Amino acid sequence: MTEMVHGLVPARASDPVLPRWWRTIDKWTMSYILALFGIGLLLGLAASPPLAARNGLQPFHYVERQAMFGAAAMVVMLLVSMLGPKQVRRLAVVGFGFSFVALMALPFLGTDFGKGAIRWYSLGFASFQPSEFLKPGFVVLAAWLMAAAQDREGPPGRLWSFGLMALIVTMLALQPDFGQAALVLFSWGVMYFVAGAPMTLLALLAGVVVFTGTFAYEHSEHFARRINGFLSPDIDPRTQLGYATNAIREGGFFGVGVGEGAVKWSLPDAHTDFIIAVAAEEYGLVLVLAIIALYAFIVVGSLIRLSKERDMFIRLAGTGLACSFGVQAMINMGVAVRLLPAKGMTLPFVSYGGSSLIAGGIAVGMLLALTRSRPQGRMGDILRPER
């Protein structure tokens, strides 16, 4: 006997692909993603013209590029969401392999675009950041290894996933890109917790993180500068954090008005890392709360659907993807309001950035594919040992 989870209308295997996809997809999450992308275009209209003027470009140059990359991301998201769990796993492994090789070659072929960290490849017409594409591939691959470790004669998947995570975090920290490194570490930790890791081991890992952070603070000028700026009671009003903090304060509850904000003329990253400051200044707390609610609906809704999932691989991979998506948004907004040290991290589907949008489309497409309604065996069939 089988039964459906996540939905009330069963999907028949004989149905054509598109009707079956539409009957089983999480339409609410898909709608929230489209809403975030629409908000991103709206904020891009406000935030990007000053940058375009400084670079001698047409006023809406960056908005047009964001619309182009965003449309491609939406298409990628929809196509990936039509895949089955096995196909998602294959796509993740292949994508991870290419991204990992690209990440290793960054010190020799990459560029920093004057930002002090070699994280990108310059393609002339656009840039490519391997770590953005590495994250969803790593999450799915690590989930596969952890799930395989629970088989009776399975490989030591947890140990392998830990070694892979440690290698990636080290490579990212050396760029340096501590934000992406923390995100990879967090995603792995969440999946390891869901897979049944003992609390003592998680506490030990937390201690290792604290020790590593202390070591990085003492030996990395880049890391120490970020931490000192965060801990300082005074904010230099001429820094990006100073401009962002003042913009959020000026916005109040309803904002200063559409197009009336001043922070976009001062912040070089107003259209990317600090897009939430533009939203807070021009539209006020109302729009900021709406954005936070959309991210919360996506993450919580996905986790609720995954809580009913009986396939360990799907549960782990979906949880890792959903939590990584939500924590990236939290980090971006936390930096803007000075709850976290400064990190170069975009706001998913809202900030400008081709790599961020396309990689986000792949990650959310995988999440949608894994949370689709599907027939599953009874819980008793899973709990009953095989003979």
- String of DSSP letters for 155-169: --HHHHHHHHHHHHH
Q: What does the alpha-carbon distance between residue 367 and residue 25 come to, in Å, rounded to a whole number?
A: 10
Least confident of 46-60, 110-124, 188-202: 110-124
Determine, yes or no, domain membership for 387: no
Determine, yes or no, domain membership for 385: no
Determine, yes or no, domain membership for 33: yes
Confidence (pLDDT) at 245: 80
Position 3 pLDDT exceeds 60: no
What is the domain count for the chain?
A: 1
Confidence (pLDDT) at 177: 85
- Which residues, 6+ apart, have CB-to-CB distance to 6 below 8 Å? 24, 26, 305, 308, 309, 371, 372, 373, 374
Determine, yes or no, domain membership for 295: yes
Closest CA to 370 of 191, 223, 222, 197: 191
Range of the domain at 98: 2-380
Q: What does the alpha-carbon distance between residue 139 and residue 153 come to, in Å, rounded to a whole number?
A: 23
Highest mean pLDDT among 172-181, 294-303, 304-313: 294-303
Position 4 pLDDT exceeds 60: no
Q: Cα dist. 221→149, 218, 227 in Å? A: 40, 8, 10
144, 311 Cβ separation under 8 angstroms:
no
Position 297 pLDDT exceeds 60: yes
To the nearest whole percent, how much of the chain has pLDDT over 70?
A: 89
Q: How confident is the model at residue 382 (pLDDT cuts 50, 70, 90)?
A: very low
Q: Which residue matches tokens 């003329």?
A: 265
Q: What does the alpha-carbon distance between residue 161 and residue 330 come to, in Å, rounded to a whole number?
A: 25
Q: What does the alpha-carbon distance between residue 171 and residue 73 come to, in Å, rounded to a whole number?
A: 27
Position 72 pLDDT exceeds 50: yes
Determine, yes or no, domain membership for 130: yes
DSSP for residue 292: H
Position 246 pLDDT exceeds 90: no
Q: What does the alpha-carbon distance between residue 230 and residue 212 come to, in Å, rounded to a whole number?
A: 18
Closest CA to 358 of 51, 72, 82: 72
- Between 225 and 335, the more confident residue is 335
Determine, yes or no, domain membership for 386: no
Cβ atoms < 10 Å from Cβ of 320: 29
Closest CA to 321 of 72, 113, 124, 80: 80
Confidence (pLDDT) at 64: 93
346, 332 Cβ separation under 8 angstroms:
yes
- Amino acid identity, residue 335? V
Secondary structure class of 58 (helix, strand, coil): coil
pTM: 0.88
Q: How confident is the model at residue 17 (pLDDT cuts 50, 70, 90)?
A: confident
Q: Which residue matches tokens 């170069």?
A: 344
- Amino acid identity, residue 194? V
- Between 233 and 197, the more confident residue is 197
Q: What does the alpha-carbon distance between residue 237 and residue 244 come to, in Å, rounded to a whole number?
A: 9
Confidence (pLDDT) at 385: 45
Position 8 pLDDT exceeds 70: no
62, 350 Cβ separation under 8 angstroms:
no
Confidence (pLDDT) at 305: 93
289, 370 Cβ separation under 8 angstroms:
no
Q: Which residue matches tokens 């009913």?
A: 308
